[in-house]
Structure 1
Amino acid sequence: MNINWQDPSFLLSVIAVLGTLFTYLIHDRKIKAQEKLINDYQLDKIEEEKNRKRQATVRASLIKGNKGHRILRVYNKGQAIAKNVRLIIKDEPDYLYSTNPFPFPVLNEHENIDLDIHLHMGSPDNISFEILWDDESATDNKHSQIVQL
């Protein structure tokens, strides 16, 4: 078999094969770069989910009762156990509540603790407080909050 380098059909075939090969290599490089980005994203999501499962999220809400009775509900909406839960009320009036159950040793996922608050003339309009807790991810996690009485 004799190759005729002058034959236009042969030259077009060689150019077509080289063009196809070049296009394939560029496309393959782009696909691999996209796959790497997707794999990195998926690994980050998995790591984020692992961290979320190790974290407790402790918050508080106020439930209004009748005639000056309020309940400050401290709850764990995270996916881990909160340990050594502490409630620090800033500028705390002594007469505001009857019993303080804090520090509380363990607050499981979706559990809560209620603190009865008794209002009367001269009670503050709102209270500010900090909630501190430990979980698997860290110690002395802190959330500051203000509730209107």
Structure 2
Amino acid sequence: MEVWGLIISILALLASAFTYFKHDKKLKEQERKINEYQLKQIEKEDLESKKAAIRGNIVKGLKGKRTLKVYNSGRAIARNIRIEGLDVEGLFHRADEVFPYELMNPQDYTEVNIMLFNNCAPTIKLKYIWDDESGKNNEFEQVLTL
């Protein structure tokens, strides 16, 4: 009888050890996946902190007057901001006096006054080009309603 008790105890001990190591392996795998995810999130946030995001918006005024507001909605400083696409028939502006814009901090903006004439298209496609910590000649295209 003592032998059977010893065998049952050993089997119970082996079963417990097997369960422990199996559970430990699952926990370590989950921990590895969580660590990988956290590292990816940190890298993504680090990259986002180095990016500027130049966008525009048209504000309507009276009798064909418009204001193009160009702003930085990113987290980094934008430098050497250029705009392409303002050379449209029926559109008068003085953007060449403002652009290239030397430096725009996050959440800052600048404005360009625009005057529309009768033969102007209802929309305009603009391309913003800028440099920031993530690289040079970043681009964003946008269609705005005049």
Same fold (TM over 0.5): yes
- The residue correspondences of 1:58-137 to structure 2 (distance < 5 A) are 58-89=54-85, 91-93=87-89, 95-100=91-96, 101-137=98-134
Tell me which residue corresponds to 2:19. 23
TM-score, scaled relative to structure 2: 0.92
Distance in 2, Cα, partners of 1:69 & 1:94 = 12
Structure 2: state its 5+ residue gaps. none
1:10 paired to 2:10 = no
Shift of 1:44: 1.0
Tell me which residue corresponds to 2:39. 43
Percent sequence identity over aligned pairs: 36
Please identify the structure whose Cα radius of gyration is greater: 1
Structure 1: state its 5+ residue gaps. none
Shift of 1:32: 0.6
Distance in 2, Cα, partners of 1:121 & 1:94 = 7
The one-letter amino acid paired with 1:15 is L
Tell me which residue corresponds to 1:140. 137
Deviates more, 1:30-39 or 1:85-94: 85-94
Task: Give the SS at the match of 2:110.
Answer: strand
Distance in 2, Cα, partners of 1:106 & 1:95 = 26
Q: How many residues align?
A: 145
Shift of 1:90: 5.7
Higher strand residue share? 2
Residues 93, 111 of structure 1: alpha-carbon distance in 2 compared, 3 angstrom cutoff:
same
Shift of 1:54: 0.5
Distance in 2, Cα, partners of 1:94 & 1:122 = 5
* Cα shift readout 1:73-114 (whole Å, capped 9, x = no counterpart): 110000100000000116533752144311111011111111
Distance in 1, Cα, partners of 2:126 & 2:64 = 20
Higher helix residue share? 2
The one-letter amino acid paired with 1:145 is Q
What's the C-alpha RMSD, in Å, of the aligned pairs?
1.7
**Paired residues of 2:52 and 2:78 also in contact (CA < 8 A):** yes
